Structure 1
Amino acid sequence: MPEIYFHVRWPDGVTQRCYSPSTVVEDYFVAGREYELTDFVERSRTALGIAGERVKEKFGFYCTGASDQLAQIERTAAAYAAADGAKVTVESLVNADGSTR
C-alpha cells in the first residue's frame, strides 16, 4: 500500500509527523491549510479509519499503525481542547520515499 506522512503544526507551534498506510488522507487534508482543532481530529478519525480498513481489505488485518497514529493525534489534541479557536495546520503531505505530494 502507498504509505504517506502528513506533517502538522499544533496550536503552540510544535510540529509532528503523522503516518497513514494509505493516501486516502489526501482526500481529507490539503497541504498548507489550517483546520479548526475539532475538524482536524474528525478528519483524522475518518481518514485513518478508512486507511486501516483498506489495509484490512488487502491483507486481512487492520493496520495498527493507523489506529496508533489516531490515538496519538487524539491525545495531543486533548491538550489544546480548552484553547479557544485552536487550529492545526497541515504543513505537507509526503510520500514514504520523501517526495512531496
Structure 2
Amino acid sequence: MPEVHFTLRWPDGTEERCYSPSTAIKRQFDVGETYALAEFLARARAGLTEASDRVAAKYGFACTAAMGQLARIEARGREFEARDGASVVCVAIEG
C-alpha cells in the first residue's frame, strides 16, 4: 500500500506532519484548504479509519499506526475546541 504523509497547520500556527498507510486520506483533504475544526476532525477520522480498514482487508489486521495517528490528531484537536472559529489547514500531501 502506498503511504501518504500530510502536513497540517493547527490554529496556533504550528505545523505537524502526519501519516496514513494508504491514499484513502487524499479523498478527505485538499492542499491549501482550510477546515473548521469539527469538520477537519470528522474528515481525519473517516480517512484514517478507511486507511486502517484497507490494511485489514489486505493483511488481516487493522493498522495501529493509522489509529495512533488519529488518536494524536484528536488529542491535539481537543486543545482548540474552546476557540471560536478554530480551523486547520492542509498544507501538503505527499505520496
TM range, smaller chain = over 0.9
Taking structure 2 as the reference length, the TM-score comes to: 0.99
The alignment of Structure 1 onto Structure 2 pairs a total of residues equal to 95
Aligned partner of 1:13 in structure 2 is 13
Letter in 1 for 2:25: V
> RMSD of the TM alignment (CA)?
0.4
Deviations 1:34-53 (A, max 9, x none): 00000000000000000000
- 2:85 matched to 1:85? yes
Aligned partner of 1:99 in structure 2 is none
Letter in 1 for 2:46: T
Letter in 1 for 2:83: A
Q: Which runs of 4+ in 1 moved over 4 A?
A: none
- 2:44 matched to 1:44? yes
* Structure 1 unpaired stretches of 5+: 96-101
Letter in 2 for 1:22: S
